[in-house]
Each structure stands twice: as structure tokens, then as C-alpha cells.
Amino acid sequence: MDLLNGKEIPVGLRNLSIKIYNHADEQVIHSTPNDRSTGRIAAGTMRFDPLPVVNLQPRQWVHLELTGFENRRLVRWSKVEFVGERQRRGLFEPKTFRKTIAMRPP
């Protein structure tokens, strides 16, 4: 997944999640993504670290490879979203950032 910060100030995203919806727009899976670049073999299986935050530098692209999604109940999915929160400048409430990763027609 590629993200671009088009602003002239750095932006940080936190509370990251992957949300998968069915055709009725009901959320069926909510998963915390893992950073695929941290992969290592532990106890005979591949392990990845969770991705707690993403820091986006001004006017630069960031490429992420994510893993760790549950694959059960994915037969009738319609939309997959990457969701995070960014702090609004000068305000205490975060703003939700959403990026649709994949969509499937009904």
C-alpha cells in the first residue's frame, strides 16, 4: 500500500486497523496490521511485529507491506479499508483517515 503526505508538515497516523466489510456495509473483521518488513522465524513459524504508527514526511511517499489479516469469513467481502487516526493541528480530537484498499462488485 502506498501513502502520500501532500501537506508541508509531517503527519503521523496511529491506532491503525484493517476493516473488512460485507455487501450490506456491515463490518465483519477488524484487524490490527503487522509490518511485513519485520518478518523473522521464531519457533518454526514466521512472526511479524504490529504496526503501531506510520510517520509521513512532507510531500513524500511511504510504501507499506502489511500482513496479519484473518482470512476466515472472507467469502462475501465487498470492501477492505485501511483506517488510522491523525491529530488535528491545535485540536484535541483526532481525525479519522480512511483509504479503501480493495473493492469488489456485488
- 29: its cell numbers: 473483521
In this predicted structure, what is the pLDDT of residue 59? Answer: 95
8: its cell numbers: 508541508
| pLDDT on residue 94 | 84
> For the chain, what is the domain count?
1
**C-alpha cell, 94:** 483526532
Contact yes or no for 12/72 (Cβ under 8 A): no
What is the average per-residue pLDDT within 29-38? 86
Residue with cell 484487524: 31
Give 50-100 pLDDT, tens digit per residue: 888 999 999 999 998 888 765 555 667 889 899 999 887 666 778 899 999
100 phi and psi angles, rounded to 5 deg: -75, 120
pLDDT score, position 26: 85
Residues in contact with 22: Cβ distance below 8 Å, sequence separation at least 6, in sequence order: 28, 76, 77, 78
The pLDDT value recorded for residue 73 is 56
**Chain mean pLDDT for the chain:** 85
Question: Cβ neighbours of residue 55 under 8 Å, at least 6 residues apart?
Answer: 10, 11, 12
Residue 61's pLDDT is 93
The boundaries of the domain holding residue 99 are: 2-103
pLDDT of residue 89: 66
Q: Is 8 left (phi over 0), alpha (psi -120 to 50) or beta?
A: alpha
Rounded to an integer, the average pLDDT of 43-52 is 88
